[in-house]
Structure formats: structure tokens, C-alpha cells
Amino acid sequence: MFMIFTLNRFYCLTLVGIAGILIFSCQDSESNSKAQFSAEPAIQKFQLSAEQAKTIFDMPVHCITVEYPNKLGQSIGSDSDLKPPRVLRPIFYGCYDWHSSVHGYWSIVKLMKSFNDLDQQGEVRATLNTLITDKNAAIEKSFFEDKNNLSFERTYGWAWLFKLQEELITWNDADAKRWSQSLQPMVDLLRGKLLDYLPKLVYPIRSGKHDNTAFGLSLMYDYALTAKDKALADAITEHAIRLYQEDKNCDFSYEPSGSDFLSPCLEEAYLMSKVLDTKAYKTWLNEFLPQMYREDFKLEPAIVKDRTDGQLVHLDGLNYSRAACLYGIAHQVPELAHLREVADAHLAFTLPNLGKDDDYMGSHWLGTFALYAITHQ
């Protein structure tokens, strides 16, 4: 449940739910007036509490070793390909499917870096040490070299692996360094696949699901910058501009589809905020989504009526990914600070649904998207 109180131009948002309590600070009319002339929007970020972090942390910790149910998503070449998930994918076999397992690891690593108390007994670290080994990573890598699965998880799963690697290489931790070294050959393989693939991609994939081109490129661009991989960053920049530069008047009225967890309009807009300079981006955005420049811009959170339905519950993820994009765009263009209010509303609407008691169809992946949105403020 959430409650919004408005009183004498004081604005407070208090959210109470399974995910914990988020409190946005109030600001009076004087400070709001001054904010109009500030280079940065005067909107108070909320901090991820230890309680919230544990809620999100426990979700992937629970599922990275849960083998079934499992959606393998592979192409079968012969009887010998029919193996249990733990044999085919000895690291990323849990959490229902490969990409959810990968971004579950991302959530775990990201939270362990900031909250030491989450793994006081070292049990999660021990699990990761058992799973992320050179031997297991070599088996994982070989799956992407199988002629029947060369495009497996392109580009969504690839992007989350890059995002996981980004967290590992920025963590000054002995185990994390070893894990990143084990995963690097697979990252390098997929990097090469991406560089081969992008020139062949004549048209972007604009869906609201896994194969959305903009979302994948956005995450992989983050990795490229962190890893100081200029060639990869330049390639993503070049092809993002080629694919999207001429786009105009994206129509929100066709969003969302019934099982989207990504917004085609917003993912594209967020990616372009990364690859264009500020002046060029403002010009492009004013043609692509001119309605976002209106102070009264609204975007209603998506509604889920059955969270046991693995497709319908995607819409919870849509609310999180929309929020992440809106925060990111507002950061790039300070005069669009009002987008933060729309993002806040999406979080407020959806976070109360987050918890370990959720049906597995949502709990195996939604924690990652909540964390992704929260850390974009």
C-alpha cells in the first residue's frame, strides 16, 4: 500500500510495503522556487535501507541454486543436448532461466559491495566460490559456441553478463577478482559476437521484451565505459546513432503491450542520452518525445492483475525499468526534473508488491529490476 499526502505545498511520499519503508523528504515552497534556477533538480534521493537491501538480496540468493522449474531456451541438435540445467550451465542454472540467473548474480554482487552485513556468515560468498570457477565458466562459454545456439540470449542475457562483470571489476575484493577472471573469456566471446552482429542489424528490435536492442546496448555501453573498452563503446555509439538518429514522435499510446517489461520509447531515449552529447541529445529528444518537455507530462504505472502469471507479471518489471529510464534522462537534462516525479510514482506503485513471498514467476527476477531502478535515482 502507499499513501500520498499534500499539505500547504509540502510534498511527502511515504511508502509502506513488503519491500520496507521509503521516505522522500519534504521541501517547502521557497526551496521549490529556488530549484527552478538550480543546475541540478532539488529532489531528495532516498537511500536503500538495510531492510530493503535484504529483501532484494534474499530473492536471487534463494533462486540461483533452484534448478527447477527451468526454461532452457536452447535449440536441440541431438539427444546428447538433453541434459539437466546444472550440467549445461553449471554457474547460471538457477532462477528459472539463464538471463535471470545472471542478473540475480548482479544483484547479489552489487548489494554485497554496499552492505557487508548481508552475508555475515559468508555462506553466499562460499556458494559463489563453488559455482564461479574456471571449469564451470568454460562449460558456460562452450554453450555459446555451439552451432545450434550461436545467438542464444542475444542481446539481453549478454548485456546482463556484461553488467555483472562491470560490478566485479570495480570491486576491490579478492574473490570478486577471481570471479571476474573466470567470466572474462565468456565476456570476450560475447563482445566479439556483438561486434560481428551490430553491422548486420539493419533495423533495431523495438519490442518491450528481452530482445529490445536499446536496452541491451545501454547495459553493454555501461560496461564498455567502466572497462575502458573504447572500441566497444565506439561501436555501440556508432550503431545506436545509425539505428535511432532519425526517429521522431515515439507514440506512448501504443505502450504497453500486455506482457512488456521494457518501454520501447523510453529505452531508446535513455540509450541515446548516453551516446549523444548533451546539446545533440536535447535536440533529438525534443523531436523523439516532445511531450516529455511538458511540466504536466504523465505516464500511468502499468497494472498487474495476476502475479502468478509469468507473462502478466512482466508489467511490474516495466514500472521499474520505466523509472530507471526516467531518472536517467532527467539526470542528463536537468530541465526535465519533473520526470523524476513520474519515476517516483512508478516505484511507489510497484515496490509494495516486492517480496520473497511473491509467486516464483515474479520473485525470480523482479528484485533485480527494483534494484536497477532504485540505483538510477
pLDDT at 10: 26
358 grid coordinates: 511473491
Which residues 6+ apart lie within 8 Å of 270 measured at CB? 214, 218, 324, 325, 328, 329
Partners of 23 in beta bridges = 14
pLDDT at 358: 83
95 grid coordinates: 532462477
| CA dihedral of residues 244, 246, 251, 254 (deg, nearest 10) | -50
37-43: long-range contacts (C-beta < 8 A, 24 or more apart)? 38/334, 39/334, 40/334, 41/330, 41/334, 41/337, 41/340, 43/337, 43/340
With beta carbons less than 8 A apart as the criterion, state whether 346 and 318 touch. no
Distance CA 175, CA 132 (A): 10
164 grid coordinates: 555483472
pLDDT at 11: 31
- Which has the closest alpha carbon to 177: 169, 187, 165? 169
Task: Determine the Cα angle at 151 with ends 160 and 182, to 5°.
Answer: 50
pLDDT at 46: 59
195 grid coordinates: 561486434
Each residue's pLDDT, cut to its tens digit, for the chain (377 residues) gives 333 323 232 233 334 333 343 433 333 333 333 333 233 434 445 578 899 999 999 999 999 999 999 999 999 999 999 999 999 999 999 999 999 999 999 999 999 999 999 999 999 999 999 999 999 999 999 999 999 999 999 999 999 999 999 999 999 999 999 999 999 999 999 999 999 999 999 999 999 999 999 999 999 999 999 999 999 999 999 999 999 999 999 999 999 999 999 999 999 999 999 999 999 999 999 999 999 999 999 999 999 999 999 999 999 999 999 999 999 999 999 999 999 999 999 999 999 989 857 899 999 999 999 999 999 99
- Which has the closest alpha carbon to 327: 107, 84, 46? 46
For residue 90, CA distances in Å to 97, 138, 176, 189, 351 come to 13, 10, 18, 18, 32
pLDDT at 45: 59
pLDDT at 356: 54
Break the chain into its structural domains and give their ranges.
50-200
- Which has the closest alpha carbon to 46: 24, 17, 31, 27? 24
- Which has the closest alpha carbon to 271: 217, 344, 321? 217
pLDDT in tens, 321-363: 999 999 999 999 999 999 999 999 999 999 998 985 789 999 9
One DSSP character per residue, 98-121 reads HHHHHHHHHHHHHHHHH-GGGGTT
Q: Compute and round to an integer the Cα radius of gyration of the chain.
A: 21
pTM recorded for the entire structure: 0.89
Three-state SS for 276?
Answer: coil
pLDDT at 36: 33
Identity of the residue numbered 350: T
- Which has the closest alpha carbon to 370: 179, 110, 40? 110
pLDDT in tens, 245-292: 999 999 999 999 999 999 999 999 999 999 999 999 999 999 999 999
153 grid coordinates: 540470449
- Which has the closest alpha carbon to 347: 312, 305, 316, 310? 316
Please report how the helices 230-244 and 213-226 are oriented relative to each other, as an axis angle in degrees rounded to 10: 150
